[in-house]
């Protein structure tokens, strides 16, 4: 059930109407049932896996709290480790088993060995990376005594399965979302209006911008050898625009949908293509994942507290594993490796005596343009379906010729202009969402422009959300 379909909005409307007629406890149970039904539309076979993920968070968390109350720190740690290992083991089996089997077969062949080729044929459950990370963060936060464990299985089930953020995040922290599951929600008309506007912005990003960009970007990545330098460069630029608006659009739809039920989900994007440097980019891009990796991987590895070499190692390890989190592919690994390298180079620059002059031109234009260019280059590895396609694309960018591709510049410029419409509004107003506090006339005007663009984009083929595959 795609978030950009009429089926979804009918589902959302009916769910919200029933939800607000129930009392608090029944609201929670209803949302859990609805969320499980929403997930079952994708594949009912994995509902048991979601219940299992809830159980390996719920029961160990209570056991950790009991052990800590009895002064048994070792037992509490064992329960925490058991839960985390079970969560990561589940993720590894479903997401990476085939990757490691294929890698072992290739390594064996390189050294002259041979074995019968086989694959486990494991299906990847949609959204598994997100709800497994939710489980891990919940248990670790309870262990670190940042959070009291819930005594209601249904509350943790709702935290993990809440359908607006189930498939592709944001990766909500238990400390933020779980209290909202535990406390009664109050119907407020302002929340409903805010939710509707945010859903509209999300649809604009997804349907008008991301899907338009995909129409050209997908062509270049399907067979790079058929396109010249200008077309390949436009395709890469458009994919950079596509993935941002696709995922930011999903996040807007998720946050807007959650508002319809009185929930507030965390902000997941904060104008990342206006970032001043690559470190700033990762504070603004997929904020829920980057902060999760920082708090549960980078800092536990030692962060920047154990000397320069260890800092660089931790940055590389965190970003490379972050790449692997996205999927079992060497392209994803290299994407993470590149971002780790960027961060290390930026830290070297900060620690050096050489400093670029600070002026408004650099801050407002040159620095964001450089960050955008660096990030866009890495998307080549993220998007390519194979290492072979990556090599073909790189070769075409360097030596693909220029003839016949200039006509791609016009649609590329139009799509970039559409991409900037909500982002510039947010930057100029310094509001998130940008329509908060707008006079009704201006809010209506923005809504009208977006609706016109949505209607005009009606013939575009509907594209699945990119992050649904993770």
Rounded to whole angstroms, the maximal C-alpha distance in the chain is 75
Separation in Å, CA 444 to CA 24, 266, 447? 34, 25, 5
Q: Is 93 helix (H, G, I), strand (E, B) or coil?
A: helix
Active site residue 326: yes
CA distance 120 to 295: 33
CA distance 321 to 129: 13
CA distance 448 to 442: 10
Nearest to 463 by CA among 4, 12, 1: 4
The single residue listed with the structure tokens 């406890």 is 25
DSSP state of 357: P
CA distance 155 to 151: 8
CA distance 363 to 158: 43
Q: Any residues with CB less than 8 A from the CB of 181 and at least 6 apart, and which?
A: 28, 150, 155, 156, 158, 159, 162
Are the C-beta atoms of 79 and 63 separated by less than 8 Å? Answer: yes
Catalytic residue among 7, 134, 286, 326: 326
Q: Give the helix/strand (H/E) hosting 18.
A: helix 6-19
Active site amino acids: 326
């Amino acid at each position: 059930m795609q978030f950009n379909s009429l089926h979804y909005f009918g589902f959302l409307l009916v769910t919200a109407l029933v939800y607000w007629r129930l009392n608090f406890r029944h609201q929670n149970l209803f949302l859990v049932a609805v969320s499980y039904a929403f997930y079952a539309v994708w594949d009912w076979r994995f509902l048991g896996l979601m219940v299992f993920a809830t159980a390996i968070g719920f029961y160990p968390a209570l056991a950790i709290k009991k052990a800590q109350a009895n002064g048994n720190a070792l037992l509490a740690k064992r329960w925490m480790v058991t839960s985390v290992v079970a969560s990561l083991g589940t993720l590894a089996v479903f997401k990476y088993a085939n990757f490691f089997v294929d890698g072992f077969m290739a390594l064996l062949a390189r050294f002259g060995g041979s074995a019968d080729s086989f694959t486990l044929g494991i299906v990847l459950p949609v959204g598994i990376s997100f709800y497994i990370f939710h489980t891990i963060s919940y248990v670790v936060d309870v262990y670190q005594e940042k959070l009291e464990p819930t005594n209601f299985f249904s509350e943790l089930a709702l935290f993990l399965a809440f359908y607006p953020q189930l498939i592709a995040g944001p990766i909500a922290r238990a400390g933020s979302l779980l209290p909202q599951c535990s406390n009664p929600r109050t119907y407020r008309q302002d929340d409903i209006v805010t939710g509707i506007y945010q859903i509209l912005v999300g649809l604009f990003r997804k349907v008008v911008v991301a899907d338009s960009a995909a129409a050209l970007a997908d062509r270049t990545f399907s067979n790079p050898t058929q396109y010249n330098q200008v077309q390949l460069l436009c395709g890469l630029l458009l994919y950079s625009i596509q993935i941002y608006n696709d995922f930011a659009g999903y996040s807007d739809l998720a946050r807007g949908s959650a508002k319809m039920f009185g929930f507030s989900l965390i902000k997941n994007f904060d104008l990342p293509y206006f970032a001043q440097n690559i470190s700033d980019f990762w504070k603004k891009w997929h904020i829920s994942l980057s902060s999760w990796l920082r708090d549960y991987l980078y800092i536990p590895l030692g962060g920047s507290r154990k000397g320069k070499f260890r800092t660089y190692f931790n940055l590389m390890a965190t970003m490379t594993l972050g790449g692997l989190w996205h999927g079992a592919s060497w392209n994803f690994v290299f994407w993470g490796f590149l971002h780790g390298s960027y961060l290390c180079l930026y830290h070297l620059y900060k620690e050096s005596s050489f400093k670029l002059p600070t002026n408004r031109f650099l801050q407002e234009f040159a620095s964001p343009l450089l960050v955008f260019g660096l990030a866009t280059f890495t998307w080549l590895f993220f998007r390519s379906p194979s290492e072979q396609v990556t090599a073909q694309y790189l070769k075409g960018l360097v030596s693909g010729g220029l003839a016949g591709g200039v006509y791609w510049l016009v649609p590329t410029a139009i799509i970039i202009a559409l991409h900037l419409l909500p982002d510039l509004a947010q930057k100029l107003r310094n509001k998130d969402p940008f329509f908060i506090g707008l006079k009704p006339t201006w809010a209506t005007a923005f809504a009208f422009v977006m609706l016109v663009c949505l209607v005009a984009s009606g013939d575009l083929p509907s594209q699945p959300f990119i992050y649904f595959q993770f």
